[in-house]
Amino acid sequence: MIHSLFLINNAGDLFLEKHWKSVISRSVCDYFFEAREKAVEPDNVPPVIRTPHHYLINIYREKIFFVSVIQTEVPPLFVIEFLHRVAETFQDYFGECSESTIKDNVVIVYELLEEMLDNGFPLATESNILKELIRPPTILRSMVNTITGSSNVGETLPTGQLSTIPWRRAGVKYTNNEAYFDVVEEIDAILDKSGTTVFAEIQGVIDACVKLSGMPDLTLSFMNPRLLDDVSFHPCVRYKRWESERVISFVPPDGNFQLMSYHISAQNLVAIPVYVKQNISFFETGSSGRLDITVGPKQTMGKTVEGLVVTVHMPKVVLSANLNATQGTYNYDPVTKILVWDIGKLNPQKLPNLKGSLSLQSGAPKPEENPSLNIDLKIQQLAISGRLGSFISVGCDSLPAGPCDKALLLLTLF
């Protein structure tokens, strides 16, 4: 199983190492550096690298490479999934998973890694258990700790590990019993030059924030579960109940967690909320080109489109862009060749437009393809899948501390 873990930043500095079995020299990472150099982009480093005596399985997250060393056969996904779980735990504990936060909290990081794996096999990966073992740092506590010399390690021994529902700790108490569910849906679509949809699918997740006392048993039902093409669940959800009744029944973890993710693939359901008129052309003579992009609303169902960002990956020969935006700001990075136009809220009366000229490297041949555009946007309070969200109902089967005070349903859609 997992032998060692090295954390390496984007510049190639190895800033943390942890061994679960005997120590492996950090020189093993040279093979990784070699692959890293060859790959140019950090995304392109092969996740599995073979070296004469070891296998390196790595992930790239938040500008950090998590490189694990393996000696024997193990499912690669097992390791990859675990490394992501580590990164998520850091994020959970420190707010973000970056080199500086890891360095600042090296003691906690070490304690966490020690608890998460035993002899290379995952031991406690549930955030609820970990938080009982090692308290996450807060500003107040770290101040108190420095003064009094007390520690972050929980004084009580964790009981969560002993139960069959390891994701929930015992004895949770709240004065206000609340549960929030966020339904977030994303459209993933590929459009061709003329704007017709080549491929589109809806992916949704239901994020929950449950603050209920005792051992609540919740159910969540959909009016139209047939729309859900494919689902995956947090381990707390009872599979059998879903299979037989299409009801999500679960004892929730305490706090924030992702309850489920689902997928809706039916093509006809997917309505793309905006349209884009674009015209990017490069002149045959003279090293310059022209750019003209307009974004407009289409099927937004009366809601406002927010957080609109258009990203264009320009060809290598484009040196600079001299543009004029009627709304928002634009920025062209000549190193990465990425043009980002941050529009913000879409005003249907006055459509935002970005227009201007591009200057190319002189003498270079005209790029033959038009760059592709990525468009990101957000719409609050709207379910793209339409009929799904508005019918979610939450029921509390058993709440020892009386009925649910507030079973709020908060939909942040899209």
Partner 1 sequence: AQVLFSVKLYTVHQYLNVTLFLYVFPQMIARGKNASDLFPAVVKNVACKNIEVKKLVYVYLVRYAEEQQDLALLSISTFQRGLKDPNQLIRASALRVLSSIRVTIIVPIMMLAIKEAASDMSPYVRKTAAHAIPKLHSLDPEQKDQLIEVIEKLLADKTTLVAGSVVMAFEEVCPDRIDLIHKNYRKLCNLLIDVEEWGQVVIINMLTRYARTQFLNPNINESLLEESSEKAFYASDDEEDEDKKAEAATLAKRKPYVMDPDHRLLLRNTKPLLQSRNAAVVMAVAQLYFHLAPKAEVGIIAKALVRLMRSHSEVQYVVLQNVATMTIKRRGMFEPYLKSFYIRSTDPTQIKILKLEVLTNLANETNISTILREFQTYIKSMDKDFVAASIQAIGRCATNIGEVRDTCLNGLVQLLSNRDELVVAESVVVIKKLLQMQPEQHSDIIKHMAKLIDNIQVPMARASILWLIGEYCEHVPKIAPDVLRNMAKTFTNEEDIVKLQIINLAAKLYLTNSKQTKLLTQYVLNLAKYDQNYDIRDRARFIRQLIVPTDKSGALSKYAKKLFLALKPAPVLQSTFKDRDHFQLGSLSHLLNAKAAGYQELPDWPESVPDPSVRNVEVKDSVCARRTVLTGPEESDSGSGSESASASDESGSGSESEESREETESEDEEEDEEKEKKRKKRLDKTKAKKPAEESAERCLVLPNVSCSAPSFPQRAEQWHRGQKTRQEGSEESEKCLRIRERIRKQRIRGRVGGGTIAPSGSIKMYELLHRITGEGLAVEYCFSRQPFSPDPNMVAVQIQFTNNTNSETKNLHIEEPRLQSGMRIREFTEIGLQPSGESVTVVMGIDFCDSTQAANFQLCTHTRKFFVSIQPPVGELMTPVFLTENDFKKEQGKLMGMNEISEKLMLGEKCVNEHVIVERVTATANLSRVPCGSEKECRFAGKTVSSGCLVLVTVPTKEGGAAQLTVNCEKMLIGTLLVKDIMQALSQ
Total binding residues toward partner 1, as defined by CB under 8 A: 98
Closer CB to partner 1, residue 61 or residue 303?
A: 61
- The answer to whether the CB of 104 falls within 8 A of the CB of 145 is no
**Which residue in 74, 210, 212, 382 binds partner 1 (CB under 8 A)?**
74
Binding of partner 1 by 143 (CB under 8 A): no
Q: In angstroms, give the least distance from the CB of 297 to partner 1.
A: 24
Site for partner 1 in 245-304 (CB under 8 A): 258, 261, 263
**Which residue in 37, 38, 144, 162 binds partner 1 (CB under 8 A)?**
162
**Pairing relationship of beta strands 48-50 and 247-250 according to DSSP bridges:** unpaired
Q: In angstroms, give the least distance from the CB of 162 to partner 1.
A: 5
Q: In angstroms, give the least distance from the CB of 230 to partner 1.
A: 5
**Which residue in 368, 400, 402, 403 binds partner 1 (CB under 8 A)?**
368
Binding of partner 1 by 46 (CB under 8 A): yes
Distance CA 359, CA 364 (A): 11
Give the binding range for partner 1 (CB under 8 A) out of 159-167, 338-346, 349-357, 406-414. Answer: 159-167
DSSP 62: T
Binding of partner 1 by 38 (CB under 8 A): no
Give the binding range for partner 1 (CB under 8 A) out of 91-99, 101-109, 291-299, 339-347. Answer: 101-109
**Which residue in 70, 183, 202, 413 binds partner 1 (CB under 8 A)?**
70
User: Is residue 409 classed exposed, middle or buried when 0-12, 13-18 and 19+ CB atoms within 10 A define those classes?
Assistant: middle
Q: What share of the chain is helix, strand, coil (3-state, %, to 5)?
A: 20, 40, 40
Rg (the chain; Cα; Å): 25
**Which residue in 10, 138, 232, 326 binds partner 1 (CB under 8 A)?**
232
DSSP 303: P
**Pairing relationship of beta strands 48-50 and 55-61 according to DSSP bridges:** antiparallel
Q: CA torsion angle for 71, 75, 79, 81 (degrees, to 10)?
A: 180
Q: In angstroms, give the least distance from the CB of 324 to partner 1.
A: 26
**Which residue in 33, 35, 51, 61 binds partner 1 (CB under 8 A)?**
61
Provide the terminal-to-terminal Cα distance of the chain, rounded to the nearest Å: 39
Closer CB to partner 1, residue 56 or residue 327?
A: 56
Q: In angstroms, give the least distance from the CB of 24 to partner 1.
A: 10
Q: In angstroms, give the least distance from the CB of 382 to partner 1.
A: 21
DSSP 158: P
Binding of partner 1 by 223 (CB under 8 A): no
Other CB atoms closer than 10 Å to residue 309's CB: what's the count? 15
Residue 250: beta bridge partners? Answer: 218, 237
Q: In angstroms, give the least distance from the CB of 304 to partner 1.
A: 26
> What contacts 172, CB < 8 A, 6 or more positions away?
212, 213, 214, 254
